[in-house]
Chain A
């Protein structure tokens, strides 16, 4: 599935992934391919995007996550790369 992680200043990640774990406002959510259309608010925490090339971890705060037609879009109020 396609994943894009966008912050107000730039596009942080764009590409294919096998799974995404994101901090929603009330706890972690995991997204696998073919997830139902879904939208939630983000809290503070680390987004983990796992794909064939390994994991990518990004610290986010605020914003939202949207899944539609196998496309995951994470729009973060702020995003900084986190050390893995």
Chain B
């Protein structure tokens, strides 16, 4: 049986670790709340943009917008020849399998695209993704680690603008984002979203025509001009949402991971404490037996 003093040392160390994980859990919970508010706050904007684009969109206009250019129609060969993949990970660890899930999804997507002969360049956000792909020695087209857990619209603009420009000029045929979709604090599946080319609304819903007839807008300037302004906004917004959702998902994942760690620590403590008590009692019993034995011997 282990010595009581060693056991006491282990108990203290587990107690301290548990204190830390408990605190991190609390910190994540409050940060999650704020991040969640940002996710919810971003929703009406995205919805309003999508609705208006759907109302204004007409298939005749599609050819005039470079952001709507579908691969295969204009490219010489069929399908996507050059693509970009943006992977969003967190800067910090201690959040369970969160980052490895994202990296796995990105690798799956890369393999899938390379199997189709697509030259794919990799753009990374977040330290965890950067250090993984540096380790595998893959060429990284761009990387940044300064975004942290409070992404702003400017960050999204900085990420989206160069990619949109290159797509519009024909340097890229497709742009995907791999991020953690924030369904709820406990459900944050890694997701791949194709942001460019923009999926024409008519493909998503066939009811687009009907709702267009319902309200006859006075348009100033023309529908085409308005769409030209709104399409880039909508693409940028998708980048922004990916950033915000990943930030919220990171806190959710960390909270779960830290809660598990705290629970595991408590279980360990119970067992250690019990072992310690037994060891202490055994020691006392033994000492008593020795004293009694000694006294008996003295009586002679």
Which residues of chain B from 44 to 69 have any CB-CB distance to chain A below 8 Å in the complex? 44-45, 48-49, 52, 56
A38 contacts B52, CB within 8 Å? no
- A59 in the interface (beta carbon within 8 A): no
- What mask results when residues 27 to 54 of chain A are scored 1 for a CB within 8 Å of chain B, else 0? 0000000001111110000000000000
Contacts of B233 in A (CB 8 A): 62-63, 77
Give the size of the chain A interface in residues (CB under 8 angstroms). Answer: 26
Residues of B within 8 A of A (CB): 38, 41-42, 44-45, 48-49, 52, 56, 152-153, 215-221, 225-226, 229-230, 233, 236-237, 240
Main secondary structure of the interface of A (DSSP, over half): strand
Contacts of A41 in B (CB 8 A): 220-221, 225-226, 229
- Give the shortest distance, in Å, between A62 (CB) and chain B (any CB): 7
- Give the shortest distance, in Å, between B128 (CB) and chain A (any CB): 25
Residues of A within 8 A of B (CB): 4, 6-11, 24-26, 36-41, 62-64, 66, 68-69, 73, 75, 77-78
A9 contacts B230, CB within 8 Å? no
Q: A38-B218, A66-B52 are in contact. List 19 more A-B contacts (CB 8 A).
A: A4-B44, A6-B45, A6-B48, A8-B45, A9-B45, A11-B44, A11-B45, A37-B216, A37-B217, A38-B220, A39-B219, A39-B226, A41-B220, A63-B233, A64-B52, A73-B48, A75-B45, A75-B48, A77-B233
B154 (CB) vs chain A CBs: closest residue: A78
- The residue among B153, B220, B225, B233 with the most chain A CB atoms within 10 A of its own CB is B220
Can you report 19 A-B residue pairs in the complex whose CB atoms are below 8 A from each other? Answer: A4-B44, A8-B45, A8-B236, A8-B240, A10-B38, A10-B42, A11-B41, A11-B44, A36-B218, A39-B56, A39-B219, A39-B226, A40-B221, A40-B226, A41-B229, A64-B226, A66-B48, A75-B52, A78-B153
Contacts of B240 in A (CB 8 A): 8
